[in-house]
Structure 1
């Protein structure tokens, strides 16, 4: 049997589907994944279920309440308060692809490379200042403050970011941190995150990649989406942000600049304390 798994979302969303993808792969002879770059525009114009039906796919199931019944052979409704990774695995199980024996559903990626040449030697913490949606980001000034305070506390700091975030990472790193803005691929970023003592990030792809390589996360979690569904999964996590802020559960992902007002209540000292707590728990 051949299977197709569709996740037309951002980098982190695809990572969270990993446990479900493993379950499907174990139950079929050939697996194909259909993904898009950060949520393909085509997916917004043409719903995936009609596309698959037109392509002749024989059996279509989804975690969905939106598609008309004629487009889905099996509609799976997620259980309340399920994390996105758990809900995806529930959907795969409902379609006949339970996890294999011994797979308890954590996030995993292929082993990343050695990135010591990028980060330098010795322990370090990572701060990732960007986010795919500005409403989820911490402001650049707060990020720079956290870098300075972490450095004052004796930490080496590595600042990461994509090719379009070089100006941001340069501003945040200053002269105090290693600036890797635009210098990593997804695989080398995984290596950088794997060797970190802790990763500080908004609710965006690298936070989930850190979880996939087993690194604790200080999550600067804007409450525009529910933490129970989208927080880093399967690793020690400290969530920073007010879950009762006015923007809570609004899905207000459009914001003109990085640094939603709800997020800037979090300070650099809050981050330093959270990093220390995760490091102490990891060494005990």
Structure 2
């Protein structure tokens, strides 16, 4: 049976949107290993069809990457050597698969498939054209299909996580989760504390979540009106909290995709620095807020290039609270 390697080297949400493609590979492969970056590895372990997760911090993918470490590259090549029959390198439209393909070739992987607009030389066995401008999960699935991997009959291609998630105690029965942090400042909504106050005034039980480096942010947003879980959850526990929630309110960041994968409706405060068509939460149960025609659209900026951050700052907290109430119960 085929021993397959699926590579996605960036962050949590980037890995989650590869779930349908991973399931397509798993449908015909004997085993599936995911090679992920350190920010995406925990999410990779939650994808159905994954047997093993390897971790590598790729300097051609990671933002603010450290210099190339030859010893780390050598260790990765040694770890991969002789273990896989085929590899699928999954990338977003602005990333190159070729540095990864070079390492896979050095490791002796006999068949590697990826999208490449640049000439790959002998690095790729299956060179795929850029897929249409579709939602990222659809794009990843198109790459898998081009490499010969199809979803099994009955799989609708939705985002999914494994069913077995850890229990998280002391949660309200039907909370609304607010996740105020974002991977980049340009994607951050500045008025989350006002949203929490409005929801609390309406009798909504609010839970605020965030990573270990976001404790000050989550404390300020919770403000004594919400349960603050900032810095207290693993990715698997965050997924469990989101699965228990009625709605997630969030910026354009990884937990939006995590919520989609557990069936929770999403209010997305979406900065247009990346395309909405590709990166909106992949669920029919969503409300998207934010000016998609703002001057920053398509810039991929990490810090807002427009004074005042108008694409998101102009969204009134009352509109966010109303969107949350609109989605309560729709996925029940």
TM over 0.5: yes
Query: Within the alignment, does 1:202 sit opposite 2:251 as a pair?
Result: yes
Query: Within the alignment, does 1:188 sit opposite 2:237 as a pair?
Result: yes
Higher relative contact order (CA 8 A, sep 6+): 1
Runs of 4+ residues over 6 Å off in structure 1: none
**1:238 pairs with 287, 294, 297, which one?**
287
**1:267 pairs with 316, 321, 330, which one?**
316
Whether contact under 8 Å (1:211, 1:235) holds in the other structure is no
Match of 1:88, SS state, is helix
Which string of whole-angstrom CA distances, capped at 9 and with x for unpartnered residues, describes residues 250-271 of structure 1?
1112359xx9442111121111
The count of corresponding residues between Structure 1 and Structure 2 is 277
Provide the rounded CA distance (Å) in 2 between the counterparts of 1:93 and 1:279.
36
Provide the rounded CA distance (Å) in 2 between the counterparts of 1:195 and 1:246.
37
Unaligned residue ranges in structure 2 (runs of 5+): 41-56, 62-67, 74-98
Whether contact under 8 Å (2:133, 2:139) holds in the other structure is no
Whether contact under 8 Å (2:246, 2:329) holds in the other structure is no
State the Cα distance separating 1:42 from its structure 2 match: 2.9
Match of 1:61, SS state, is strand
Unaligned residue ranges in structure 1 (runs of 5+): none
Whether contact under 8 Å (1:24, 1:31) holds in the other structure is yes
TM-score (norm 1): 0.92
Q: Which residue of 2 aligns with 1:131?
A: 182
TM-score (norm 2): 0.79
Provide the rounded CA distance (Å) in 1 between the counterparts of 2:148 and 2:234.
35
Provide the rounded CA distance (Å) in 2 between the counterparts of 1:122 and 1:196.
8
Provide the rounded CA distance (Å) in 2 between the counterparts of 1:66 and 1:222.
29
Task: Sort the Cα spacing of 1:114 and 1:38 in 2 relative to 1 into closer, same or farther, 3 A.
Answer: closer
**1:114 pairs with 167, 171, 191, which one?**
167
Which string of whole-angstrom CA distances, capped at 9 and with x for unpartnered residues, describes residues 167-191 of structure 1?
1100100110000001111111111
More deviation in 92-101 or 106-115?
106-115
Provide the rounded CA distance (Å) in 2 between the counterparts of 1:276 and 1:11.
27
State the Cα distance separating 1:14 from its structure 2 match: 0.3
State the Cα distance separating 1:51 from its structure 2 match: 0.9
